[in-house]
């Protein structure tokens, strides 16, 4: 009897150990698969919960370009997957002047037209002009033209740093677009992140200005919480 009890104890210990090893193995496999197949934001809490956020639409003027092959081709933008920030590289010029430049592209012959435009331009005083509707592509961000909205920002001097008014409008506009299209922080990019071009210059020269800007967007979104959306 004593021998049998000892044997049973031994068996129980073996079964428990096997069970423990199996559980550990399953946890490990599940963990690996979640890591392999999950996209950003899948694991744990999402970065931004848009069900409780509503950003008011910033004041903006619709001044759409005339449809033309060099700045407003009328090509549908099927799904907005990001926002690209630019600087005009035209120190001291305002939103209207840059919009006029885009509009003037229609005069260029089709075969050697410099294809350039942007969905939005933010002026030195923070005024936002809409040049291309959000459901059409603009010519600003190279391979990302097909799935992003572009924002050109005016700047007072060669450093490319935005005025406070431009900067605040940019934060508001980007936060609004993030909410509207439910974008993640990683979907907010610079032209530099697409092509390596030094655009927007100040935010490429000073990476901390870019990370600071993205933090401000998150803070803006988080403070735009509502009770019932």
Nearest distance from C-beta of residue 199 to Zn ion, angstroms: 3
Looking at 17-25, 33-41, 199-207, 220-228, which segment touches Zn ion (CB under 5 A)? Answer: 199-207
Ranges within 162-191 binding Zn ion (CB under 5 A): 191
Give me the torsion for CA of 75, 76, 79, 83, rounded to 10°: 50
Residue closer to Zn ion by CB (options 156, 224) is 156
Nearest distance from C-beta of residue 200 to Zn ion, angstroms: 7
Residues that contact Zn ion, how many (by CB under 5 A): 3
From the list 93, 144, 143, 86, the residue with the least C-alpha distance to 120 is 86
CB 165 within 8 A of CB 58: no
Nearest distance from C-beta of residue 84 to Zn ion, angstroms: 7
Nearest distance from C-beta of residue 145 to Zn ion, angstroms: 11
Looking at 24-32, 94-102, 110-118, 193-201, which segment touches Zn ion (CB under 5 A)? Answer: 193-201
Residue closer to Zn ion by CB (options 53, 121) is 121
Nearest distance from C-beta of residue 25 to Zn ion, angstroms: 51
CB 168 within 8 A of CB 209: no
Q: Is residue 201 close enough to count as binding Zn ion by CB under 5 A?
A: no
- Among the listed residues 53, 151, 188, 199, the single contact to Zn ion using CB under 5 A: 199
Q: How many CB atoms lie within 10 A of CB 193?
A: 18
From the list 140, 104, 145, the residue with the least C-alpha distance to 121 is 140
Task: In whole angstroms, give the CA distance from residue 154 to residue 160.
Answer: 8
Q: Where are the alpha helices (DSSP H) in the chain?
A: 2-37, 95-104, 164-181, 191-195, 201-205, 207-223
Looking at 53-61, 80-88, 208-216, 219-227, which segment touches Zn ion (CB under 5 A)? Answer: 80-88
Q: Is residue 86 close enough to count as binding Zn ion by CB under 5 A?
A: yes
Ranges within 116-145 binding Zn ion (CB under 5 A): none
Residues 6 or more apart in contact with residue 194 via CB below 8 angstroms? 84, 141, 142, 143, 144
Residue closer to Zn ion by CB (options 127, 191) is 191
Looking at 81-89, 100-108, 119-127, 174-182, which segment touches Zn ion (CB under 5 A)? Answer: 81-89
Looking at 32-40, 51-59, 170-178, 196-204, which segment touches Zn ion (CB under 5 A)? Answer: 196-204
Task: In whole angstroms, give the CA distance from residue 185 to residue 135.
Answer: 21
Total residues found in the chain within this entry: 229
Task: In whole angstroms, give the CA distance from residue 39 to residue 46.
Answer: 11
Q: Write out the residues near Zn ion by the rule CB under 5 A.
A: 86, 191, 199
């Amino acid at each position: 009897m004593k021998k049998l009890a000892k044997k049973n104890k031994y068996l129980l210990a073996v079964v428990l150990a096997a069970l423990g090893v199996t559980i550990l193995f399953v946890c490990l496999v599940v963990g690996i698969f979640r890591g392999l197949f999950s996209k950003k934001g899948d694991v744990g809490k999402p970065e931004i919960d848009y069900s409780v956020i509503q950003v008011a639409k910033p004041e903006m003027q619709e001044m759409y370009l005339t449809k033309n092959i060099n700045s407003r081709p009328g090509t549908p933008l099927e799904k907005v997957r990001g926002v690209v920030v630019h600087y005009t590289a035209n120190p001291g010029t305002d939103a209207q002047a840059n919009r006029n430049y885009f509009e003037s592209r229609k005069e260029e012959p089709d075969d050697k037209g410099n294809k350039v435009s942007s969905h939005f331009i933010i002026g030195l005083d923070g005024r936002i002009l809409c040049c291309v509707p959000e459901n059409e592509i603009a010519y600003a961000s190279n391979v990302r033209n097909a799935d992003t909205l572009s924002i050109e920002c005016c700047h007072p001097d060669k450093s490319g740093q935005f005025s406070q008014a431009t900067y605040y409008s940019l934060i508001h506009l980007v936060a609004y677009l993030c909410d509207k299209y439910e974008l993640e922080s990683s979907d907010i990019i610079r032209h530099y992140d697409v092509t390596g071009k030094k655009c927007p210059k100040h935010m490429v020269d000073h990476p901390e200005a870019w990370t600071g800007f993205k933090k401000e967007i998150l803070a803006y979104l988080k403070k735009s919480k509502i009770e019932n959306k």
